[in-house]
Structure 1
Amino acid sequence: MHKEKTEYSSDKELLKDLFFSSLRLADPVTKLRQLEFTKPLGRLFFVAVGKGAGRHAEAFKSNYDGLADGVVILPENEECEDLGFKVFKASHPVPSSYGLEASKYLVTEVKRLKEKDLLIFCISGGASALLPYPPEGFTLDDEIHLNRTLLSSGLSIKEMNVYRGVFSQIKAGKLARMAYPCPIISLVVSDIPGDELALVGSGPTFIQKPNLSSLTTLKFGDKIDEHIKEALSSDRDEKTDVNGQKAFCLSSSKILFDKATNYINKTLGMNSLMLSSQFEGDPRSLVQLYKKTIQEISSSDSKIEKPVIILSGGEVEIKLPKNHGIGGRNSQFSLALAKAIEGMEGVTALSADTDGIDGNGNNAGAIVTGFTYTKIRKHFSNVDPEKLFDSFNVHKKVNTLFFTGPTGINLNDFRAVLIR
């Protein structure tokens, strides 16, 4: 007979503990504090940009005993203690003038670096929005328009970041070219399914060739479309000097779910099943996969002993209509899953963005059960709540929102379904 090792007041509290414990165990700061950096003969310039950048800068400063100056660029809802670095706060997910000011400062400093200097560039998810720098002849409003179009397009984060890399003076390796011949150490916290480090934050320090197949259908207006077409054509055969470079992955979705699996098995004393840490695609397909898996595990001839927690990471891709309300991927997915598991006993599901902010709401996600959708029906008897694309307010009516505040750790989405 299976024996659980830890007691909780509810399955909701158990899943909350799993979420926070997994983040703690996969915290990129742990790896950053373990790295050793050789002092350069010249200047060491440190950059931290993205969600959690303040924490990353603090970890670096505590671990490096040499002289270093640098810059920290982080979202407006995060903090950074006084470390002697220049600090910029900028908006996310839509770029702002503060981000453009930060980008211009960064470019000025990077262009000053020499061969005997060292650039340490620590990047995490959110950096694409925090570092706007539109191509010559374009304005910040053009980059904002491009980003708004991308955010409502339903494209994957990989595809969006390819567009962002093309439409930028510093992304997709252009910042590395500016730093040449200064060597670069890139420290990456990956929020990209599959952990393609060069795509995190649209890869300012990774010289790369755009994936042309991703850039064929979305339209931004004639002027931007023409620039993207010309940029792709001119980049194709371009030769460039490459900086001496090292890259380290500080944490990722795969690391997060390895830690989560271990925690479930050894600390909670439960079985676990991983669907995928790298899911990308329509939420309906993932909802149906979860539903079928739950039904199979709940059947009398299942070989998996309950209780069991089914995990998945990556992100669902949601194309927003022109008129939509408040919500994000996880709140919308939770709503669809609640509908699919309606009436199922012993099922509790958490879906949340690891950075603590889901879409344009201030929640991380939601926690639902097999009885949630029955409650939702009472408030929406004449309309399908899924089609409102207002998942935050739908969940708010039945008290299923999950709040964490900004976590400072961005490793994409975290989904866990407990079956008893």
Structure 2
Amino acid sequence: MTPEELLKAMFQAGVEAALPQLCVPAHLPRRPKGRTIIIGAGKASGAMAKALEDSWDGPLEGLVVTRYGYRLPTERLEVVEAAHPVPDAAGREAAKRIHELVQGLTEDDLVLCLISGGGSALLAMPAEGISLEDKQAVNKALLASGATISEMNTVRKHLSAIKGGRLARAAYPAQIVSLMISDVPGDDASIIASGPTVPDPSTNADARGIVEKYRIDLPGAVSRVLETIEETPKPGDPCFERVENVMIATPQASLEAAAAVARAAGVTPVILGDSIEGESRDVGLVHAGIARQCAMRGQPQEPPCVLISGGETTITLKGDGKGGPNTEFLLSLAIALDGMDNIYALAGDTDGVDGSEDNAGALIYPDTLKRAEAAGISPKVMLANNDPYTFFKGVGDLLETGPTMTNVNDLRCIFITQKA
């Protein structure tokens, strides 16, 4: 198996460990006495709806919203598509309909929620007084600011009529079971899709603090909402008494699946962590340092070994290029390694889309920089302009998988084949 084949096999194993058809059936609750209402939001929710429909032996009704291109055919459940990462009118209408579906229920009814990463943008029901255009402006500013996913979703919760536990409040007193595929560091249920069925420990003041930290210019209506005294439902609120939030797939499980592939190939895996955050280019520098230490000193592991990590890095946009966190990480890594022999790497988003482009991520090889130089492409100029997509497209090293129908965040693998 070549280094490229091993890295791609590891990535595929990480994706497959989180596929809804494997994860959903084992966690389905018992049929209720009353109605079963299915709702959901996220990049994996379309596939989750299909897996649920194939496994459920009773009556079903409901609505799920997923990203454009991520819908799978269903017979009993309605699946609609909307925009991500910036919400659109389709997401707003879907969120309104979902909110209406869960109202007026009884204790005998079950609301089965299918929640995955991406739900924050897809479940776009602005709080009263805020327009969709306001939400779009805030989302764009947050995405460009360098804020972490936890920080972004803290702000989003407090600008929503359905997230931050408000869906649970609307569905009370029905039983609620939320099946969650985690895409956030630490698997914090209150952050995944901004926690529509989870108590929210954050406050409006916390959201205002994040806005001030990143110097985000808010529309007037948004500022007024964040200054109000109305809060999201907090821990201990009665609306959560009959809510069960179940984690059915996690980044850590995908890292372990990738590690198993390496181990089977005779390569020692070293999992660095499943919740690594920070600026993508900075994380690339740190990973390069660890890879160099393995190659030159045999620490923390003698080659052949592969460094594996997950989490969600961020980009503070300063240029006008194209790309996402994984390609920016890899470009920074390649520059720092400076063509070092015997080191290969892959980084990709397990949902199949890195940022807003059509690739999951990319790969780097010992000769990546030489090939770029031969093609007249400057890696440092590309990195300064936040243009890693153009760089990797130019050298032909993009990782293109198409929609994977799941989402457990980023998977990074650095393969050191032998000592330098």
TM-score of the pair, normalised by structure 2: 0.92
Match of 1:327 in 2: 323
Shift of 1:375: 2.6
Deviations, residues 260-309 of structure 1 (Å, cap 9, x unaligned): 222322x2221011111100112343223222212221125657332111
- State the alpha-carbon separation in 2 of the partners of residues 49 and 352 from structure 1: 22
Match of 1:414 in 2: 411
Shift of 1:13: 1.9
- State the alpha-carbon separation in 2 of the partners of residues 25 and 184 from structure 1: 25
Match of 2:179 in 1: 187
1:386 lines up with 2:383 in the alignment: yes
Task: Report SS of the residue matched to 2:70.
Answer: coil
Q: 1:118-133, aligned counterparts within 5 Å?
A: 118-133=110-125
Q: 1:303 to 1:135 in 2, by over 3 A?
A: closer
Match of 1:259 in 2: 257
Q: Is the 8 A contact 2:344 2:415 kept in 1?
A: yes
The counterpart of 1:317, out of the listed 296, 314, 317, is: 314
1:349 lines up with 2:345 in the alignment: yes
The counterpart of 1:88, out of the listed 65, 80, 96, is: 80
Identity fraction in percent: 32
Q: Is the 8 A contact 1:22 1:259 kept in 2?
A: yes
Q: 1:344 to 1:205 in 2, by over 3 A?
A: same
Instruction: Name which of structure 1's ranges 250-259 and 237-246 shifts more when overlaid on structure 2.
Output: 237-246
Q: 1:77 to 1:234 in 2, by over 3 A?
A: closer
Q: 1:163-182, aligned counterparts within 5 Å?
A: 163-182=155-174
Shift of 1:234: 8.4
Match of 2:283 in 1: 286
Match of 2:240 in 1: 242
Q: 1:145 to 1:300 in 2, by over 3 A?
A: closer
Deviations, residues 376-410 of structure 1 (Å, cap 9, x unaligned): 24424596221111111111111111100010110
- State the alpha-carbon separation in 1 of the partners of residues 239 and 290 from structure 2: 50
Considering only aligned residues, what root-mean-square deviation do their CA atoms show, in Å? Answer: 2.1
Match of 2:107 in 1: 115
Match of 1:161 in 2: 153
Instruction: Name which of structure 1's ranges 232-241 and 274-283 shifts more when overlaid on structure 2.
Output: 232-241
Q: 1:382 to 1:61 in 2, by over 3 A?
A: closer
Deviations, residues 172-211 of structure 1 (Å, cap 9, x unaligned): 0011101111110010000001100121001111121215
The counterpart of 2:64, out of the listed 68, 72, 81, is: 72
Deviations, residues 325-355 of structure 1 (Å, cap 9, x unaligned): 2111111111111101112101100010000
Shift of 1:170: 0.3
Match of 1:304 in 2: 301
* Letter matched to residue 414 of structure 1: L
Deviations, residues 43-93 of structure 1 (Å, cap 9, x unaligned): 010123211222111211222211111112111111221321122111111
Match of 2:223 in 1: 225
TM-score of the pair, normalised by structure 1: 0.92
Match of 1:152 in 2: 144
Q: Is the 8 A contact 1:184 1:243 kept in 2?
A: no
Q: Is the 8 A contact 2:168 2:243 kept in 1?
A: no
1:363 lines up with 2:359 in the alignment: yes
Q: Is the 8 A contact 2:168 2:239 kept in 1?
A: no
Q: Is the 8 A contact 2:331 2:379 kept in 1?
A: no
Q: 1:67 to 1:253 in 2, by over 3 A?
A: same
Q: 1:237 to 1:86 in 2, by over 3 A?
A: closer
The counterpart of 1:30, out of the listed 19, 22, 29, is: 22
Q: Is the 8 A contact 1:26 1:259 kept in 2?
A: no
Q: Is the 8 A contact 1:37 1:64 kept in 2?
A: no
Match of 1:375 in 2: 371
Match of 1:276 in 2: 273
Matched residue count: 410
Q: Is the 8 A contact 1:121 1:184 kept in 2?
A: yes
1:208 lines up with 2:206 in the alignment: no
Shift of 1:235: 6.9
Q: Is the 8 A contact 1:56 1:122 kept in 2?
A: yes
Task: Report SS of the residue matched to 2:275.
Answer: strand
Task: Report SS of the residue matched to 2:112.
Answer: strand
* Letter matched to residue 394 of structure 1: F
Q: Is the 8 A contact 2:40 2:65 kept in 1?
A: yes
Match of 1:51 in 2: 43
Task: Report SS of the residue matched to 1:161.
Answer: helix
Extract unaligned runs of 5+ from structure 2: none
- State the alpha-carbon separation in 1 of the partners of residues 235 and 133 from structure 2: 30
Task: Report SS of the residue matched to 1:338.
Answer: helix
Task: Report SS of the residue matched to 1:366.
Answer: strand
Q: 1:302 to 1:223 in 2, by over 3 A?
A: closer
Shift of 1:363: 0.4
* Letter matched to residue 336 of structure 2: A
Task: Report SS of the residue matched to 2:277.
Answer: strand
Q: 1:143 to 1:231 in 2, by over 3 A?
A: farther
- After the TM superposition, which parts of structure 1 deviate over 4 Å for at least 4 consecutive aligned residues? 211-214, 231-240, 300-303
- State the alpha-carbon separation in 2 of the partners of residues 44 and 131 from structure 1: 20
* Letter matched to residue 314 of structure 2: E
Extract unaligned runs of 5+ from structure 1: 1-7
Shift of 1:226: 2.8
Task: Report SS of the residue matched to 2:100.
Answer: helix
Q: 1:300 to 1:202 in 2, by over 3 A?
A: closer
Task: Report SS of the residue matched to 1:404.
Answer: coil
Task: Report SS of the residue matched to 2:240.
Answer: coil
Q: Is the 8 A contact 2:352 2:404 kept in 1?
A: yes
